[in-house]
Amino acid sequence: MRIDGRPMRAIWARADGTVGIIDQTRLPWGVETPALASLEDAARAIEVMQVRGAPLIGVTGAFGLALGLREDASDGALAAGLARLLGTRPTAVNLAWALERVRAGVAPLAPGERAAAALGIAEALAEEDVTACRAIGEHGARLIAAVAARAGGRRINILTHCNAGWLATVDWGTALAPIYMAREQGVDLHVWVDETRPRNQGAALTAFELGQEGVPHTIVVDNAGGHLMQHGQVDLCIVGADRITRLGDVANKIGTYLKALAAADNGVPFHVAAPSSTIDWRLADGVAQIPIEERSPREVTHLAGQRVAAPGSAAANYAFDVTPARLISGFITERGLCQAGAGGLASLFPEAAAA
Ligand code: MRU
């Protein structure tokens, strides 16, 4: 997608052997593009959320492992690099998925061949992500067009939570890709952007992306969604995912579950857009089994470096929650739309479901 009219991706291999990223902790004020030169750079970038969003974390991890193997390609360094990167953030399964793709590709090779092979796999994963997100956009745009047709041609309102746009992937995004494509196809739409406390991915990143693409949007506080739905102001919710179990439970940014509850109470369709790299086929019960990241309480107690919470009060900072499949109207994947549940996912990905 674009920044100031210039096509950009969220991560790219640079000619000097380093890896370019957009520092997402600086958006929306500044567009800074630091270079990752080592595995440790990549691990830190994921931890401090210079890069974030499930698919982008995965691709960054793959590039990070390739950077590490350039320094030391021994079996020991491979194992240590995998452990360091896997330990950065626990919830998005795309990280483990991408690291396993690199590990499986390089482990059988002689150490001297590993770094180049890992870089090739990381670049392939980045391209695969773009292809998957473009397909999600095409399938999701048909869903949005159908909602618009039912609305009789008036402007429709779509609510999204956190940032599942191109900044969370390599390009296009998951939840936002259908929105970009539907708009290109002439659907008249407006997006309600949840600000997404405490890190404000909605206000800072989703609103930035939508603004750059000229998509009409309004930022609302996280608790406004239920009110908007009660007043007929939301035609459709689309969110992304960090991990989906084989039964269709979805971990996504904290607050997603409450939006799904409000949507169910108000008869608003609630869709989850994600590539198959986000499905964890080993897990069934999302609430019981998906690890939920807990981040620093300081993200809750402080705003722009200033404490806003009462002095001495403790804070808890759960970064994700789980929305049970029963609250989800359907999935938008690279292979098309399906119902949220074991049958729906298995019908689109029979080979993975059977493995
Ligand atoms: O903590 P973040 O910003 O990495 O959380 C991101 C989300 O929750 C996204 O909705 C999810 O990763 C999907 S991104 C296409």
Is 252 strand, coil or helix? strand
The whole-number pLDDT of residue 154 equals: 97
Distance between CA 174 and CA 241 in Å, rounded? 9
Ligand 1 centroid – CA 178 distance (Å):
17
Q: Give 215-266 pLDDT, tens digit per residue.
A: 999 999 999 999 999 999 999 999 999 999 999 999 999 999 999 999 999 9
Please state the φ and ψ torsions of residue 331, each to the nearest 5 degrees: -105, 150
Ligand 1 pocket, residue 206 CB under 6 Å? no
State the average pLDDT over residues 168-183: 98
Q: Give 66-76 pLDDT, tens digit per residue.
A: 999 999 999 99
The whole-number pLDDT of residue 153 equals: 84
- Residue labelled with tokens 């959320």: 49
The band of 141, judged by pLDDT with boundaries at 50, 70 and 90, is very high
- Residue labelled with tokens 């020991």: 76
Ligand 1 pocket, residue 241 CB under 6 Å? yes
In this structure, are residues 95 and 85 in contact, taking their beta carbons and an 8 Å threshold?
A: yes
Residue 2 half-sphere exposure, CB side, CA atoms within 13 Å? 9
Q: What percent of the chain has pLDDT over 70?
A: 100
In this structure, are residues 166 and 176 in contact, taking their beta carbons and an 8 Å threshold?
A: yes
The whole-number pLDDT of residue 234 equals: 98
Residue 15 has pLDDT above 90, yes or no: yes
pTM of this prediction? Answer: 0.98
**CATH numeric code, 137-353:** 3.40.50.10470
Ligand 1 pocket, residue 205 CB under 6 Å? no
Q: State the CATH architecture for 2-128.
A: Up-down Bundle (1.20)
Catalytic residues: 242
Whose CA is closest to atom 15 on ligand 1?
A: 164
State the average pLDDT over residues 269-289: 98
Q: Give 96-116 pLDDT, tens digit per residue.
A: 999 999 999 999 999 999 999
Atom of ligand 1 nearest to the CA of 201: 3
Distance between CA 186 and CA 145 in Å, rounded? 9
Distance between CA 172 and CA 44 in Å, rounded? 24
The whole-number pLDDT of residue 191 equals: 99
State the average pLDDT over residues 108-129: 98
Domain boundaries, the chain: 2-128, 137-353
Whose CA is closest to atom 10 on ligand 1?
A: 240
Nearest Cα residue to 253 out of 281, 274, 230 = 274
In this structure, are residues 251 and 320 in contact, taking their beta carbons and an 8 Å threshold?
A: yes
